[in-house]
């Protein structure tokens, strides 16, 4: 892993987990990365302080009552696990079968279902959710505005979008700036809050200088 870290999986495109690891076609083999994916502090959340930092954020961002959460680009299910520990029911979607297999094992016996599929067009049929949780996926998608409209259509009235994103690197930065994403989200919802995250090293397991943030919005 490089200093531009924290990637969740996404169809056929690199993420901050390994920005140099795409080939000439832009494809990346996340199945091959699955076994070591949780070694990054903010992926596996194995360090108690990092785990507690993310748990505290989810406590603020998710509803207090038990809710249905759709975790898109769920990776190995670390955030899904925290959500179930707060009493929520989770449906996770990831394009990598190996990641999904690890998520299923990690959350065995918990109220969680994991599906192999495209985060941009989740294979959930007519099901609707109280929360859509997405970490480091939206920036990789070709048409974020269209994807956001689709995701809002999967929410129940009053539902929430929780989008964790950033801009990584300085020479050739990748990501989506907070102001741009806020501008895409705001017209689709009744309220939206921008939460800066780069000043909380516990979330990442180290000090960071990149732009890191979340947008928490309600229909």
Dump pLDDT digits (tens) for 168-214.
877 788 999 999 999 999 999 999 999 999 999 999 989 988 899 99
Q: What is the pTM of this model?
A: 0.85
Dump pLDDT digits (tens) for 103-137.
999 999 999 999 999 999 999 999 999 999 999 99
What percentage of the chain carries pLDDT values higher than 70?
84
DSSP assignment of 55-105 equals HHHHHHHS-SS--EEEEET-TTSHHHHHHHHTT-EEEEEES-HHHHHHHHH
């Amino acid at each position: 892993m490089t200093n531009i870290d924290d990637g969740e999986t996404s169809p056929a495109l690199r993420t901050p987990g390994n920005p140099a690891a795409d080939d000439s076609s832009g494809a990346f083999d996340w199945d091959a990365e699955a076994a070591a994916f949780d070694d990054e502090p903010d992926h596996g959340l194995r360090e108690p302080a990092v785990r507690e930092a993310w748990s505290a954020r989810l406590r603020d961002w998710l509803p207090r009552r038990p809710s249905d959460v759709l975790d898109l680009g769920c990776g190995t299910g670390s955030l899904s696990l925290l959500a179930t520990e707060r009493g929520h029911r989770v449906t996770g979607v990831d394009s990598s079968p190996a990641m999904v297999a690890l998520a299923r094992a990690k959350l065995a016996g918990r109220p969680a279902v994991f599906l192999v599929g495209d985060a941009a067009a989740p294979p959930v049929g007519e099901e609707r959710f109280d929360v859509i949780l997405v970490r480091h996926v939206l920036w990789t998608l070709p048409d974020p505005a269209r994807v956001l409209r689709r995701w809002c259509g999967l929410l129940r009235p009053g539902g929430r979008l929780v989008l964790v994103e950033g801009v990584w690197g300085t020479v050739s930065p990748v990501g989506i700036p907070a102001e741009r994403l806020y501008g895409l989200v705001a017209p689709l919802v009744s309220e939206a809050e921008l939460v800066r995250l780069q000043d909380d090293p516990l979330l990442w397991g180290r000090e960071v200088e990149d732009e890191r943030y979340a947008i928490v919005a309600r229909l």
